[in-house]
Chain A
Amino acid sequence: MNADPPPHVAVSGLTVTGNDGTPIVADLSFAIARGEVLALIGESGSGKTTAALALMGYARPGCRIASGGVRVGETEMLGLGRRALAEFRGQRVSYVAQSAAAAFNPAQRILAQVIEPALVHGTMTRRAAEEKARGLFRVLALPDPEGIGDRFPHQVSGGQLQRLMAAMALINGPALVILDEPSTALDVTTQIEVLRAFKHAVREQGTTALYVSHDLPVVAQLADRVVVLRGGRMQEEAGIARLLAAPEHPYTRSLLAAAAPAPQSPPAVAADAPPLLQVTDLTAGYGGVTAAGVPRVPVLHDLSFAIAKGSALGVIGESGCGKSTLALVVAGLLPLARGEIRLDGALLPARVQDRTPAQLRAVQIVFQMADVALNPASSVAASLSRPLRFYHDLRGAAARRRVAELLDMVRLSPGLAARFPDELSGGQKQRVNLARALAAEPALLLCDEVTSALDTVVGAAVLDLLAELRRELGIAIMFISHDLSTVRAICEQVMILYAGRRVELGGRAALRRRPMHPYTDLLLSSVPELRPGWLEGISFTHLAEAAGGLMPADAQLPCPFFRRCAVHIPGTCDVLLPPHRVLGKGSEILCQRTEAELLDMQQTASAPA
Chain B
Amino acid sequence: MSAALELQPIARRRLSLPLLGLLSGILVLACLLLALLGPVLAPHPPGQIVSPTVFAAPSRVFPLGTDYLGRDMLSRLLVGARYTVGTALPAALLASLLGTGLGMLAAVRGGLTDAVISRAMDTLISFPSLIFSLVIVAALGSSLAVLVGTAAVIYMPGCYRIIRAVAVDIETKDFVRAARARGERTSDIMRHEILPNIVTPVVTDFGLRFMFIVLLVSNLSFLGLGLQPPLSDWGGLVRENLSGLSVGAPAVILPAVAIAVLTVSVTLLVDNLPGRKAAMRER
Q: Which residues of A contact B (CB under 8 A)?
A: 58-61, 82, 331-333, 352-353, 355, 357, 360, 363-365, 367-369, 372-378, 383, 386-387, 390-391, 436-437, 440
CA distance A391 to B53 in the complex (A): 77
- Report the nearest B residue to A19, measured CB to CB: B11
Q: Are A352 and B4 in contact (CB under 8 A)?
A: no
Q: Which residues of B contact A61 (CB under 8 A)?
A: 1-2, 4-5
Query: Which residues on A sit within 8 Å (CB–CB) of B179?
Result: 386
List CB contacts (< 8 Å) of B6-50 with chain A: 6, 9
A60 vs B1: C-alpha distance in the bound complex, in angstroms?
6
Given A376-B197, A377-B197, A386-B192, the answer on whether A352 and B175 have CB atoms closer than 8 Å is: no
Pairs of residues from A and B, 8 with the lowest C-beta to C-beta distance, nearest first: A377-B196, A367-B174, A373-B174, A360-B183, A372-B173, A375-B175, A331-B181, A61-B2
- Assuming A367-B174, A436-B178, is B197 touching A375 (CB within 8 A)? yes
Instruction: Say whether, besides A61-B4, A82-B9, A360-B182, A333 and B197 are in contact (CB < 8 Å).
Output: no
Name the residue among A61, A436, A437 with the largest chain B CB count within 10 angstroms: A61
CA distance A59 to B173 in the complex (A): 32
- Would you list 26 pairs from A and B whose C-beta atoms are within 8 A, ordered by A residue? A59-B5, A60-B1, A60-B5, A61-B1, A61-B2, A332-B181, A353-B183, A357-B183, A360-B182, A365-B177, A367-B178, A369-B174, A372-B173, A372-B174, A372-B175, A373-B173, A375-B192, A375-B196, A377-B199, A378-B196, A383-B175, A386-B182, A386-B192, A390-B184, A436-B178, A440-B182
Chain B's closest residue to A373 (CB) is B174
List 7 additional A-B contacts (Cβ < 8 Å) besides A333-B177, A352-B183, A374-B175.
A355-B183, A363-B181, A373-B175, A375-B193, A377-B197, A387-B182, A390-B184
B283: interface (CB < 8 Å): no
A365 touches B173 (CB 8 A): no
- Of the candidates B2, B178, B183, B196, which one forms a contact with A373 in the assembled complex, judged by CB atoms under 8 Å apart? B178
Q: How far is the CB of A267 from chain B (nearest CB, A)?
A: 25
Residues of B within 8 A of A437 (CB): 178
Bound Cα distance from A333 to B172, whole angstroms? 12
Bound form: Cα–Cα A366–B193 in Å:
17
* Contact among B2, B180, B182 with A390 in the assembled complex (CB-CB below 8 Å): B182
User: What are the residues of chain A within 8 A of B178 when measuring CB–CB?
Assistant: 365, 367, 373, 436-437
* A333–B178 CA distance with the chains assembled, in angstroms: 9
Residues of A within 8 A of B2 (CB): 60-61
- How far apart sit A86 and B163, CA to CA, in the bound complex (Å)? 44
Closest B residue by C-beta to A102:
B1
Closest CB-CB distance, A287 to chain B, in whole Å?
A: 13
Closest beta carbon of chain B to A292's beta carbon, Å: 22
Task: Return the contact of A364 from the options B180, B181, B196 (Cβ within 8 A).
Answer: B181
Q: Give the Cβ gap from B3 to chain A, nearest Cβ, in Å.
A: 8
Which chain B residue shows the least CB distance to A331?
B181
Within the complex, the shortest CB–CB distance from A353 to chain B, in Å, comes to 8
On chain B, which size bracket covers the interface?
Answer: 20 to 34
List chain A residues, Cβ under 8 A from B184.
386, 390
Chain B interface main SS type: helix
Residues of A within 8 A of B5 (CB): 59-61
Q: Which of A59, A377, A391, A436 has the most CB of B within 10 A?
A: A377
When C-beta atoms are compared, the residue in chain A nearest to B175 turns out to be A375
Asked whether A352 lies within 8 Å of B174 as measured between CB atoms, the reply is no
- Residues of chain B within 8 A (CB-CB) of A353 are 183
Closest to A356 in B: B183
Cβ contact within 8 Å between A367 and B196: no
A390:B193 contact, CB within 8 angstroms: no
B177 in contact with A367 (CB, 8 Å) = yes
By the criterion CB–CB under 8 Å, are A352 and B197 in contact?
no
Bound complex: CA A436 to CA B193 (Å): 15
Report how far A58 CA is from B192 CA in the complex, Å.
44
Q: Mark contacts of B154-196 with chain A using CB atoms, 8 A cut-off: 1 yes-contact digit, 0 otherwise.
A: 0000000000000000000111011111111000000011001
B173 contact set on A, CB distance < 8 A: 372-373
Cα(A363)–Cα(B182), bound, Å? 9
Q: Would you give the shortest CB distance from A62 to chain B, in whole angstroms?
A: 9
Which B residues touch A352, using CB under 8 A?
Answer: 180-181, 183
When C-beta atoms are compared, the residue in chain B nearest to A355 turns out to be B183
A374 to B1 alpha-carbon distance, docked (Å): 26
Q: Which residues of A contact B183 (CB under 8 A)?
A: 352-353, 355, 357, 360, 390
How far, in Å, is A506 (CB) from chain B's closest CB?
A: 29
Using CB atoms, name the residue of chain B closest to A436.
B178
Q: How far is the CB of B10 from chain A (nearest CB, A)?
A: 11
Using Cβ atoms and an 8 Å threshold, which residues of chain A touch B180? 333, 352
Minimum CB–CB distance for A325 against chain B, Å? 13
Contacting residues, chain A, for B1 (C-beta < 8 A): 60-61
Give the docked Cα–Cα distance between A387 and B9 (Å).
52
A61 to B1, CA, bound (A): 7
Residues of B near A331 (CB, < 8 A) are 181
Q: What residues of A have a CB within 8 angstroms of the CB of B6 in the complex?
A: 58
**A82–B181 Cα gap in the complex (Å)?**
54
| Nearest B-chain residue to A376, judged by Cβ | B197
Contacts of A357 in B (CB 8 A): 183
Residue numbers in A under 8 Å from B197 (CB-CB): 375-377
Which residue of B has the minimal Cβ distance to A82?
B9
Complex CA gap A313/B261 in Å reads 66
Q: A434–B1 Cα gap in the complex (Å)?
A: 33
Within the complex, what minimum Cβ distance (angstroms) separates A105 from chain B?
Answer: 13
Distance from B175 Cβ to chain A, minimum over Cβ atoms (Å): 4
Binary A-proximity of B119-145 (CB < 8 A = 1, otherwise 0): 000000000000000000000000000
A355 to B183, CA, bound (A): 8
Which of chain B's residues have a CB closer than 8 A to the CB of A332? 181
- Binary contact track B199-228/A, C-beta < 8 Å → 1, others 0: 100000000000000000000000000000
Residues of chain B within 8 A of A376, CB atoms compared:
197
**Most chain A Cβ neighbours within 10 Å, of B4, B173, B179, B199:** B173
CA gap between A377 and B192 in the complex, in Å: 9
Interface residues of B in 58-75 (CB under 8 A from A): none
A-side contacts of B193, CB under 8 Å: 375
Q: Which residues of B contact A369 (CB under 8 A)?
A: 174
CB distance from B81 to the nearest CB of A (A): 36
Kindly list chain B residues whose C-beta atoms are within 8 Å of the C-beta of A58.
6
Q: How far is the CA of A319 from the CA of B196 in the complex (A)?
A: 33
Residues of chain A with a CB closer than 8 A to B181's CB: 331-333, 352, 360, 363-365
Residue of B nearest to A328 (CB): B177
Q: How far is the CA of A91 from the CA of B241 in the complex (A)?
A: 69
CA distance A387 to B183 in the complex (A): 10
B3, closest chain A residue (CB): A61
Give Cα distance in the complex from A178 to B197, angstroms.
40
Q: Give the distance in Å from the alpha carbon of A232 to the alpha carbon of B7 in the complex.
A: 27
Q: Which residues of B contact A333 (CB under 8 A)?
A: 177, 180-181
On chain B, the residues within 8 Å of A373 by CB distance are 173-175, 178
Shortest Cβ gap from A448 to chain B (Å): 9
In the complex, residue of chain A having the shortest beta-carbon distance to the beta carbon of B198: A377
CB neighbours of B192 from chain A (8 A): 375, 378, 386
Provide the bound-state CA to CA distance between A378 and B197, in Å.
9
Measured between beta carbons, the chain A residues less than 8 angstroms from B182 are: 360, 386-387, 390-391, 440
A366 to B146, CA, bound (A): 51
The CA of A356 and the CA of B193, in the complex, are separated in Å by 22
Complex: how many Å from CA A378 to CA B170? 14
In the complex, A383→B196 CA distance in Å? Answer: 13
Q: Which residues of A contact B199 (CB under 8 A)?
A: 377
Which of B175, B180, B184 lies at the interface centre, i.e. has the most chain A CB atoms within 10 A of its CB? B175
Q: Once the chains are docked, how many angstroms separate the CA of A59 from the CA of B1?
A: 10
Q: Which residue of A lies closest to B193 (CB)?
A: A375
Please give, as numbers and ranges, the residues of chain B lying within 8 Å of A364 by CB-CB distance: 181
Q: How far is the CB of A457 from chain B (nearest CB, A)?
A: 23
Shortest beta-carbon distance from B28 to chain A in Å: 26
